[in-house]
Structure 1
Amino acid sequence: RQLSEIIANDLRNSGLFTPLAPGQLRNPTVPEVTAPTYDYWGSTGAQSLVQGFIRANGDGNLTVGCYLYDVTARTELTRQGFVVPPADWRRAAHKCADTIYARLTGEGPYFDSRVVYVSETGPKANRIKRLAIMDQDGANHRFLTNGQSIVLTPRFAPNQQSIVYMSYVGRIPSIYVYDIGSGKQRLVVQNVATTFAPRFSPDGRFILFSMAQNGNTDLYRVSAQGGSPQRLTTSPGIDTGGSYSPDGGRIVFESDRSGGQQLYVMNADGSNQQRISFGGGRYATPVWSPRGDLIAFTKLAGNFRIGIMSPSGGGEKLLTDSWSDEGPSWSPNGRVVTFMRSGRGAGGAAQLWSVDLTGVNERRIPTPLGGSDPAWGPLRP
């Protein structure tokens, strides 16, 4: 029952499916798992049917079978089996939901993924901020740091085994890489100059970040193992918020070189810098879609809203319309964006939300405390 509820919730949260209520479902017999009673399910109004089984193996693992049927056509669409340790039973449910979603929509899967973010508690003027990680639906939540130092802008490495983030240990801005498996942290860059928004390159070899030096803030990159940073931009003003294209060939970033925050795209070596945003207001926190077809951003025009545009700057569309939505991050399939939403006033808590590309399907992502700076990780292997 729990496994089926997770599958149903994943599909419901996508905004594309309406699972039947539990009271409308009956438990199939073992033979019916592979030979559905189409007449019965057709009478419920169902168009598609998901059935499966769970079996305990002799080695202690679980085998989860997942079958998808077209009720109208009375045919099997796909089946998948997953062997997982008992602790990963939720992952098997997400994988089953991914199989269904991908088969029925033609889009890539995204349910078996994780989100890292900054957990916040306390008044705005004195927030305690800790790194936290969880499944994309809010389950399996755990804190990664103890809150003794401020942490900001965590981002997954491409291999999902580590996280790069900003911290102010001893009040010195520093870039650390946190190993999820061991819990160990490794210092990459430490500089008395203000440093912002680190992010891995798609191949994991470099970390892109911005740094203020001599009154100018520019984009730099450094080896993921540390070393001397390489400066990529030199324009007067503030260049920050860099994000690589999926192939690693280009970078989108924000800059106020034209007088207000706007979005620019350049080659990964810093050449061929071109402005792409020309709408009213200001633009910030750009991030390239993993599909490469869109860039998400924060639009500052009265309130803060999440928007998308093509890498050339065309097709701008705002997805949200709340008081303060900012800091978008893409789902692994590039069809959903997570972001932080803050309320008005000094006591307004930050929360994590998501919205799909229609701008219609908004939902809050549950966290035990307030949350900011979400980063959606790649699909898990």
Structure 2
Amino acid sequence: MIRFLITCLAVGLALATSAMAQSSPGPLRIEITEGVIEPLPFAAPVFIAENAAAADVAQDITRVISADLRGTGLFREIPSSAYISTITSFDSPVQYADWKAINAQALITGSVEQTANGQLVVRFRLFDVFADQQLGEGLQFVGSPDSWRRMAHNVADQVYERITGEGGYFDTRVAFISETGPKNARLKRLAIMDYDGANVQYLTDSRNIVLAPRFSPNGDRVIFTSYESGFPRVYLLDVATVQRRQLEGLPDTMSFAPRFSPDGNRIVYSEESGGNTDIYLYDLNSGQRTRLTEAPSIETAPSFSPDGSQIVFESDRSGRQQIYVMPASGGEARRISQGQVGRYGTPVWSPRGDLIAFTFQNAGRFHIGVMRTDGSEERLLTASFLDEGPTWAPNGRVIMFTRETAGADGAPALYSVDISGRNLQRVATPGMASDPAWSPLLP
């Protein structure tokens, strides 16, 4: 476990683009909603090891922090070979002129100590080099030695938040489907990992096909679809104990595409009955099941709005797949996708509530896109042979999805992209992977 010892953060700090920084010593700002052409240069000298036991982990922590920031596409790390100053003590005064000379706009310094009782203590400070000032108070984390990666992600989250004004997303996990074997006989099992691909843990074996994992709002449970009974059914798994159970009270029909409500007490899912697929609401405490749609069409892929008042879903009631929104209690649905061609599917509401991500198929190509919750300002962010199944980072600024290559040897992998359509990159996984689900920030 990790605990905060100092939580005094700067309020209202804004960091600027490179050109602004060089023309003015005022505060800096990165505006990520419009995209950034020139990433902000930062320096992150290796954290000071306060004792010999902390030497290796100090380098590892610094490496992870830098990788987190570089991976956003918003930051560019200045190599240590360019440094003029060296950091020899956590409390040494910063020689701002030396860091300005190499155009470092942000400077991250820190220290690591392993105490006599085996605890790891990580401290860091962030400096606005061109304003000659520290950004907020220092922050300290204490935890067990095996939690060093989480502490590094926490530092990176704080740097990201202070510089962009947005919440971070590094101290998170991703549930996904790990795949092995040839394309016509894939073995699939449920897995979970840190957002950057580290600490992979397998939660099921490969005896049964599993699909579409989704995290609970606090990240302690995963709900998913399994073919263990011979046809798709919804299962609930406790992440800490890896104990799972099939949801009780559901009829012996196909149930799939589950997703939690914002309070974590209910799930919304699709159920097939008599050749028709509709959306249902299931109360995890009482086992009560409520039908929300009654259309002679396929309704699936439901997702709650962050306030729990609405549900977005896909339906072919108009003749082809489109995106609709309805009250969370059911009732009249309104179509929000406005395209005159192609098919829309797998809609997912942003944690911020401002956008809906979706999969779009047209002319043999698949795309990940976003639109406003009324269907306006639709933008396609990616294009490939097969892109599908978006999931949001908890700050609502980055989307992860599955991309599969064509042909008999085609294989799925996880990719991420920011909402401006920039910084498309492959996510590290130990092998083939699909169906990602991003967790909230870890407690």
Partner-residue secondary structure (3-state), 2:227:
strand
Structure 1 moving runs of 4+ over 4 Å:
none
Aligned residues: 380
Rounded Cα–Cα distance in structure 1 between residues aligned with 2:196 and 2:202: 16
Shift in CA distance, 323/253, structure 1 to aligned 2, threshold 3 Å: same
Shift of 1:323: 1.6
2:409 matched to which residue of 1?
347
Tell me which of 273, 276, 282 is aligned to 2:343.
282
- Hey, what's the Cα distance between the residues in 1 that align with 2:305 and 2:424? 26
Bigger fraction of residues in strand: 1
CA–CA distance in structure 2, aligned partners of residues 188 and 374 of structure 1: 22
Partner of 1:291: 352
Q: Tell me what 1:254 maps to.
A: 314
Counterpart mapping for 1:1-381 below 5 A: 1-25=59-83, 27-30=86-89, 33=91, 35-78=93-136, 79-189=138-248, 191-225=251-285, 227-279=287-339, 280-302=341-363, 303-381=365-443
Alpha-carbon distance between aligned partners in 2 of 1:289 and 1:22, rounded to the nearest angstrom: 38
The offset of 1:27, in angstroms, is 4.8
| Alpha-carbon displacement from aligned partner over 1:302-357 (angstroms, at most 9, x marks no partner) | 21100000110000000001221100000010000000000001321000000001
Distance in 2 separating the partners of 1:255 and 1:356: 27
The alpha carbon displacement at 1:85 in A equals 1.2
Moved more, 298-307 or 53-62: 53-62
| Contact 1:173 1:191 survives alignment (8 Å) | no
Letter of the structure 1 residue corresponding to residue 283 of structure 2 = S
What CA distance in whole angstroms lies between the structure 2 residues aligned with 1:60 and 1:186? 38
Cα deviation code 1:32-57 (max 9, x no counterpart): x4521212212221111000001123
3-state SS of 1:18 partner: strand
Structure with greater Cα Rg: 2
Measure, in 2, the Cα distance between the counterparts of 1:241 and 1:361.
27
Q: Give secondary structure in 2 for the equivalent of 1:36.
A: coil
For residues 44 and 255 of structure 1, what CA distance do their matches in structure 2 show?
55
| SS of residue paired to 1:308 | strand
| Alpha-carbon contact 2:233-2:256 (below 8 Å) kept | no
The whole-number CA distance in structure 1 between the counterparts of 2:376 and 2:127 is 40
Contact 1:218 1:234 in 2 (8 A): yes
- The one-character-per-residue Cα deviations of 1:127-160 (angstroms, maximum 9, x if unpaired) are 1000010111111111111111110000001121
SS of the residue corresponding to residue 104 of structure 1 reads helix
- Once the two structures are TM-superposed, the CA of residue 58 in structure 1 deviates from its matched residue by 3.7
CA RMSD of aligned residues (A): 1.3
Amino acid across the alignment from 1:74: D
Distance 2:392 2:71 in 1: 16
Using the alignment, how far apart are the partners of 1:82 and 1:274 within structure 2?
A: 48
Specify the SS of the correspondent of 2:259: strand
Three-state SS of the structure 2 residue aligned to 1:12 is helix
Change over 3 Å in CA distance of 1:116–1:53 after alignment to 2: same
What CA deviation, in whole Å up to 9, does each residue of 1:164-203 have, x standing for no partner? 0010113132211111111111211554422221111010
In structure 1, C-alpha distance between the alignment counterparts of 2:120 and 2:87, rounded to whole Å: 20
Q: Structure 2 CA distance, aligned partners of 1:20 and 1:359?
A: 25
Can you list the C-alpha shifts for 1:186-233, whole angstroms capped at 9, x where unaligned?
211554422221111010110110011112100001122462421100
**Does the residue aligned with 1:172 lie in a helix, a strand or coil?**
coil
Instruction: For residue 77 of structure 2, give the secondary structure of its aligned residue in structure 1.
Output: coil
Distance of 2:298 and 2:375 partners within structure 1 = 20
Q: Distance in 1 between matches of 2:370 and 2:302?
A: 16
> What one-letter code is carried by the residue in structure 1 that aligns with 2:338?
F
* In structure 1, distance between residues paired with 2:437 and 2:88: 42
* Secondary structure at 2:348 match in 1: strand
Contact 1:132 1:141 (8 Å CA) reproduced = yes
Cα distance in structure 2, aligned partners of 1:23 and 1:181: 43
180-189 or 287-296, larger mean C-alpha shift: 180-189
The answer for unaligned runs of 5 or more in structure 1 is none
Counterparts of 1:235 and 1:34, CA distance in 2: 69
- Distance in 2 of aligned mates of 1:58 and 1:246: 45
3-state SS of 1:169 partner = coil
Q: Distance in 1 between matches of 2:384 and 2:81?
A: 36
Q: Taking every aligned residue pair, what percent have the same amino acid on both sides?
A: 49
In structure 1, how many angstroms separate the alpha carbons of the residues matched to 2:305 and 2:186?
A: 33
Q: Which secondary structure state, in structure 1, belongs to the residue aligned with residue 162 of structure 2? A: helix
TM-score (norm 2): 0.84
The one-letter amino acid of 1:291's match is: R
Would you say the 8 A contact 1:211–1:217 is kept in 2? yes
